[in-house]
Amino acid sequence: MNRATLVSEIFRKKTFLCVGLDTELAKIPAHLQGAADPIFEFNRAIIDATKDYCVAYKPNLAFYEALGPQGWQTLARTIEYIGNQHFIIADAKRGDIGNTSRMYAEAFFNQLGCDSVTVAPYMGEDSVKPFLGFEDKWAIVLALTSNQGSEDFQRDWLEDARQPLWEKVLQRTATWGTPENLMFVIGATHPEAFIRVREIVPDHFLLVPGVGAQGGDLAAICQHGMNRECGLLVNASRSILYASSGEDFAQKAGIEAERLQQAMEMLLKR
């Protein structure tokens, strides 16, 4: 999916919600546990209940890889079921030497049909560039993440550069691609950082985890992070997936997704 289509879908549907499919077998309702492919059945119900309220889905690869070959089949079925009307993010956090990254890119873009993949920039430009060579596909670079451990390295102050490490990562990696094929992960748990983020990358899309179960403030993110084309994909996973543990799980997921969509609609009008 190219940028123009993504932006068009955001304003057509009045939402910039991304639903994270971090589906854990132990957490899905008991009545699905006996199905031949219980995680797919759960995902299908979640997708049906939320598709009108979001523009993107983000399957987290770890939850599928942990299940072995069956997990990969479930992932492929899930992506196929989502279809091409939603932006699909493979949350894989890959990044390796050039030829290895090229194989990762081919796996997620050509084999699975994802629109984007999250990548770690620690190994430098040649580990990210292979993801940027596919038409209408995106690399989403980890810059400032929402987890507590982001304090360990990302916010370290670089005395020679007079800036924190995450800013240097953002500045450098922004030169590797364009706003048409490069996004950045900026965690919702750092709302104060969005002012500086937009000074460095005013036009790029940002994937924002940490809203929902992690407590990120949607209004604060939009105040400082939204640009003229929205420029945000705000992810919610657990708060939607596990809104209920009963047979009404899909209905409750839809209600939570609609609640977020309505809040986003109001923020888009500002």
pLDDT per position as a tens digit, 3-60: 999 999 999 999 999 999 999 999 999 999 999 999 999 999 999 999 999 999 999 9
Q: Which residues are catalytic?
A: 93
Domain at 231, CATH number: 3.20.20.70
Structural domain of residue 79, as residue ranges?
3-268
Q: Which tens digits make up the pLDDT trace of 90-132?
A: 999 998 888 999 999 999 999 999 999 999 998 899 999 999 9
In the chain, how many domains are there?
A: 1
Q: What is the pLDDT of residue 215?
A: 62
Out of 101-115, 131-145, 173-187, 211-225, least confident range: 211-225
Number of residues in the chain: 270
The yes-or-no verdict on residue 161 having pLDDT over 60 is no
Check if the beta carbon of residue 32 is closer than 8 Å to that of residue 42: yes
- The contacts of residue 137 (CB under 8 Å, 6+ apart) are 105, 109, 114, 115, 116, 131, 181
pLDDT-derived band at 151 (thresholds 50, 70, 90) equals low
For the entire predicted model, the pTM comes to 0.93
Distance of CA 173 to the CA centre of its chain: 18
Q: What is the pLDDT of residue 26?
A: 92
Q: What is the three-state SS of 17-56?
A: EEEEECCCHHHCCHHHCCCCCHHHHHHHHHHHHHCCCCCE
- Mean pLDDT (whole number) for 204-232: 86
